[in-house]
A and B are shown apart, each in its own frame.
Chain A
Amino acid sequence: MANRGGRHARNEDSENTINYVQCDGLAVMKMIKHCHEESSNMDLAQGALLGLVVDKCLEITNCFPFPKSGDETMDEEMYQLTVMRRLRRVNVDHLHVGWYQSSDVGNSLSLALLESQYHYQTSIEESVVVVYDTQKSSRGFLCLKAYRLTPQAIQMYKDGDFTPEAFRTLKVGYESLFAEIPIVIKNSPLTNIMMSELNELLPEDKGHNFLDLGTASVLENHMRSLIERVDELYQEAVRYNKYQQVVFKQDTEKHRALAKLAAENAVRTSKGEPTVSEEEVIKQFRPLPVPARLTATITSGQINTHAQHIAQFCSQSLAKLFITESLQNAKETKEIK
């Protein structure tokens, strides 16, 4: 019965899945502008995505930034509603389909992100969170990723139960918390015409800074974040080990008490007195709370993304190094001649 119910639930979910996200150039440019203005203030930039759902594709046609949380003069909900109402007047899609956030060296996977995305996805079924990496883009690679919570993650969050058993039964690991959805940037033909006009106005020599050979600082930053995450994971592991030790100790004590009770009971029956039940002894040993595995899972997810970033970064800098090697060889042969 449970299996059939599970399969049915999965069928329902697959109808609501999004296969890819299609972003308008306008939304991308606005996101980039906002994230960059905020990155100079070392703040997280956040904003809402507007668009619509077409078949298996989520189209994002516009976006607007959220005001910084330090400003108390305007209520956030009121701000959102007013902006959406105003945009509706000029025929902009007003369906709220997700939110975006800027991130720094891939530190995006956090508890706050999980919670917000959970709230979004329960209210709006198809919402996504788009993460824009400012550091990577300043090095010349546009990094825009869309994530959604997997159904198992939603289930687990709904139960509010983060014990290892829950993780095991729902088969949630750090890889299955978020599902990444490919983003496609699409522009209308008129925009393409505008882009060709822009092409003439843009200076030709810019836009190639991803061929930059300077790798040390970037690698150092990545490594530093990676080390911090590994430290956090280690703390979690230590905590879990301590818990296990305490449980073990408690177990041994319980066994000892039960054995003592059994001996006592034997003595008493020989004397003809009523036996003491075992329940009272067991009640003395209350079960200990199991530490939550959520932070550990999130940290492992972050470590995973860091490792992936590093691998990608190193592979492309290796390619660049070999290009310079060939250039150097050419120069050397010229010298020899």
Chain B
Amino acid sequence: MSISNYRLQTKVRLQPLVLFQIISAYERRPKTAKMVVGTLLGRRDRCNDTIDITNCYAVHHKEQQIGDMEQFKLDTGYVGEMFDLNQVTYPQEKIIGWYTTGRTLSRSAAALHAFYSRECGDMQPLHLLVDTSLRGGRLTTRLYCAVTMGVPGGTRGLLFTHLPLLKVSTEGDEEVALRLMQNQALHPTKQLGRMLPELVHVLEATRELEQKLDLVMRYINDVLSRKRRPDNNIGRALHEALTSVPMLDADSFRTMFNANVRNMLMSITLASMIKTQMELSEKLSYLPDN
């Protein structure tokens, strides 16, 4: 149980799915519980020294106040069973820690740490704390790691140190879903997030692009008319963006453009022709045999 398991260079990446699950578990908690506890699953990459938290599941627990003592019961059998079930579909995910919701570390953190360090094997368990009470107007997510401290041979305790949680990692396609849900979150009055055909997405993107261009133009105009102080970094970034567009001479661009447009139009014509033919054959098959 050494602290050398987590050096400062260790990168911990969190996948958005974990946060979704935690919030869903918190919303579905039994009425008597004030917080939710669960197991974190993930992968550990020793060569790159990264830890990926990819999945999690909630665990049933009970808190009781008996006299002065607070008792905390966790359904340990459940932890094992859910882990086995998950292994069937995702064999590379191992238990790497546990999560709770709440404002600060609970008193039972030490006991949970002891239990999970047994489950994790040779690794130190990570602890993810999600603040669902929205203190400070934000949903803070913090990652902790336990370090033993105290006088050797005397009283020992656990200190939970805060680890930097690196940016959330996504695989390319989750981003698409996330963006769709984000748009729907930002404009709740619009119609609910329906799956729209692709053309509408491109149109919306062009509109967004137009807005961004407007913003940049306004900034440039302001700088030119000396209303704003010019910033070298922004200027350099703009220059980079403008020069990154590949410069094709007019002829080659024309040929490429025309060829592509012709391909697209032909495909569309063929596709509609196929559809008409299918419909016709269906109608014909309805005619009686004779």
A contact residues vs B (CB 8 Å cutoff): 22, 24-26, 28-30, 32-34, 36-37, 61-62, 65-68, 71, 74, 79, 82-83, 86, 89-92, 134, 137-138, 140-145, 164, 167-168, 171, 173-175, 182-188, 190-199, 201-203, 206-211, 215, 219, 223, 226, 230, 293, 300, 303-304, 307-308, 310-321, 323-325, 327-328, 331-332
B239 interfacial by beta-carbon distance below 8 Å: no
A190 to B185, CA, bound (A): 10
Q: Is the CB of B195 within 8 A of A313?
A: no
Contacting A at CB under 8 A, from B238-271, are 245, 247-248, 250, 253, 257, 260-261, 263-265, 267-268, 270-271
Given A138-B173, A192-B185, also A198-B19 (CB < 8 A): yes
A334 to B121, CA, bound (A): 65
Contacting A at CB under 8 A, from B10-52, are 15-17, 19-21, 23-30
A24 to B60, CA, bound (A): 22
Q: Is the CB of B278 within 8 A of A182?
A: no
B159 interfacial by beta-carbon distance below 8 Å: no
Among B81, B179, B285, the residue within 8 A (CB) of A86 is: B81
Given A74-B88, A199-B182, also A91-B28 (CB < 8 A): yes
Q: Is the CB of B181 within 8 A of A25?
A: yes
Some 29 contacts from A to B, beta carbons below 8 A apart, are A25-B177, A29-B17, A37-B90, A74-B88, A79-B85, A82-B81, A82-B85, A90-B59, A91-B28, A141-B176, A143-B195, A144-B195, A187-B181, A191-B24, A198-B168, A208-B205, A209-B172, A210-B201, A211-B205, A215-B263, A303-B274, A307-B278, A312-B198, A312-B199, A315-B198, A318-B264, A319-B199, A319-B206, A327-B245
Given A142-B180, A183-B195, A332-B250, also A321-B264 (CB < 8 A): yes
Given A201-B167, A304-B275, also A90-B90 (CB < 8 A): no
B contact residues vs A (CB 8 Å cutoff): 15-17, 19-21, 23-30, 54-55, 57-60, 75, 78, 81-82, 85, 88-90, 132, 134, 138-139, 141, 167-168, 170-182, 184-186, 188, 192-195, 197-199, 201-203, 205-206, 245, 247-248, 250, 253, 257, 260-261, 263-265, 267-268, 270-272, 274-275, 278, 281-282, 285-286, 288-289
Q: Is the CB of B195 within 8 A of A25?
A: no
Chain B residues, CB < 8 A from A303: 274, 278
- How distant is A166 from chain B, measured CB to nearest CB, in Å? 12
Q: Is the CB of A320 within 8 A of B202?
A: yes
A25 to B181, CA, bound (A): 7
Determine the main DSSP class of B at the interface with A: helix
Task: List 15 additional contacts besides A25-B181, A62-B24, A197-B139; criterion CB under 8 Å.
Answer: A32-B173, A65-B89, A86-B85, A137-B176, A137-B177, A138-B173, A168-B288, A182-B194, A186-B193, A201-B168, A202-B175, A307-B271, A311-B267, A315-B199, A318-B264
Given A67-B88, A92-B28, A331-B247, also A202-B178 (CB < 8 A): yes
Q: Is the CB of B195 within 8 A of A182?
A: yes
Q: Is the CB of B20 within 8 A of A191?
A: yes
A34 to B270, CA, bound (A): 35
Q: Is the CB of B20 within 8 A of A207?
A: no
Given A184-B192, A312-B198, also A137-B173 (CB < 8 A): yes
Q: Name which residue of chain B comes closest to A297, CB basis.
A: B282
A206 to B16, CA, bound (A): 15
Chain B residues, CB < 8 A from A62: 24
A29 to B55, CA, bound (A): 11
Q: Is the CB of B271 within 8 A of A168?
A: no
Q: Is the CB of B264 within 8 A of A191?
A: no
A321 to B260, CA, bound (A): 8
Chain A residues, CB < 8 A from B260: 215, 317, 321
A304 to B177, CA, bound (A): 26
**Leading 10 A-B pairs by shortest Cβ distance:** A192-B185, A307-B271, A91-B28, A314-B264, A207-B175, A316-B198, A185-B193, A67-B88, A311-B271, A184-B192
Determine the main DSSP class of A at the interface with B: helix
- How distant is A324 from chain B, measured CB to nearest CB, in Å? 8
A303 to B120, CA, bound (A): 51
Best-surrounded residue of B58, B168, B202 (most CB of chain A within 10 A): B202
Chain B residues, CB < 8 A from A82: 81, 85
Q: Is the CB of A190 within 8 A of B19?
A: no
Q: Is the CB of B282 within 8 A of A174?
A: yes
A319 to B206, CA, bound (A): 10
Q: Is the CB of A29 within 8 A of B176?
A: no
Q: Name which residue of chain A comes closest to B59, CB basis.
A: A90
Among B177, B194, B205, B278, the residue within 8 A (CB) of A174 is: B278
Q: Is the CB of B21 within 8 A of A26?
A: yes
Given A29-B17, A90-B28, A303-B278, also A207-B184 (CB < 8 A): no
Q: Is the CB of A219 within 8 A of B267?
A: yes
Q: Name which residue of chain A comes closest to B184, CB basis.
A: A185
A242 to B157, CA, bound (A): 85
Q: Name which residue of chain B comes closest to A313, CB basis.
A: B198
- How distant is A54 from chain B, measured CB to nearest CB, in Å? 14
Q: Is the CB of A89 within 8 A of B173?
A: no
Chain B residues, CB < 8 A from A143: 195
A32 to B172, CA, bound (A): 11
Chain B residues, CB < 8 A from A138: 172-173
Chain A residues, CB < 8 A from B85: 79, 82-83, 86
Q: Is the CB of A315 within 8 A of B268?
A: yes
Q: Is the CB of A195 within 8 A of B182?
A: yes
Q: Name which residue of chain A comes closest to B29, CB basis.
A: A91
Among B21, B250, B267, the residue within 8 A (CB) of A310 is: B267
Chain A residues, CB < 8 A from B17: 26, 29-30, 33
Chain B residues, CB < 8 A from A90: 25, 28, 57-60
Q: Name which residue of chain B comes closest to A175, CB basis.
A: B282
